[in-house]
């Protein structure tokens, strides 16, 4: 059993000119790439195995991330199957001068753990025993 809290990862990417679209905000494709990378890290930390992306639910873009702000990506495992891992991802625009954040993007990704032969391999059970773990799982499931 792996505690949910041990899968929690945060990462920041400073949005540079090469990361932006014609509106001088983070290109959506870059945001999804950053989400996929951080989500995979949460899934690998949980599974103890290499993972591959199997599914992305709708990616909801609520607002843009301006050039010069950081994209703050928050990720954790909230459910697990036999070989699959469900990860909840949220991205925030973070002002590097004030640390103010605003939710910009969210989605649920599914990863599959694979062995050395690239075949699906079992993952451990997810432990959701603490009050914080229950809060995180409920947030991922849309229960606030």
pLDDT at 143: 77
Pairing label, strands 126-127, 2-3: parallel
The two tokens of residue 69 are 């702000």
Q: Give me the chain's average pLDDT, please.
A: 96
Domains of the chain from N-terminus onward: 2-140 (3.10.129.10)
pLDDT tens digits, 21-30: 999 999 999 9
Handedness of CA 108, 10, 80, 110 (dihedral sign): positive
pLDDT tens digits, 57-103: 999 999 999 999 999 999 999 999 999 999 999 999 999 999 999 99
DSSP classification of residue 39: H
The two tokens of residue 140 are 């991922």
The helix/strand/coil state of 5 is helix
118: pLDDT strictly greater than 80: yes
Taken as a whole, the chain contains a residue count of 144
């Amino acid at each position: 059993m792996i505690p949910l809290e041990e899968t929690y990862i945060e990462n920041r990417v400073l949005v540079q000119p090469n990361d932006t679209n014609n509106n001088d905000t983070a290109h959506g494709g870059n945001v999804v790439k950053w989400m996929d990378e951080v989500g995979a890290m949460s899934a690998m930390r949980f599974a103890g195995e290499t993972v591959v992306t199997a599914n992305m639910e709708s990616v909801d873009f609520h607002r843009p991330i301006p050039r010069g702000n950081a994209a703050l990506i928050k990720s954790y495992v909230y459910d697990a199957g036999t070989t699959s891992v469900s990860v909840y991802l949220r991205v925030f625009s973070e002002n590097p001068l004030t640390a103010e954040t605003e939710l910009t993007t969210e989605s649920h990704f599914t990863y599959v753990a694979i062995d050395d032969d690239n075949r699906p391999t079992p993952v451990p059970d997810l432990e959701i025993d603490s009050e914080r773990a229950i809060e995180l799982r409920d947030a991922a499931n849309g229960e606030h």
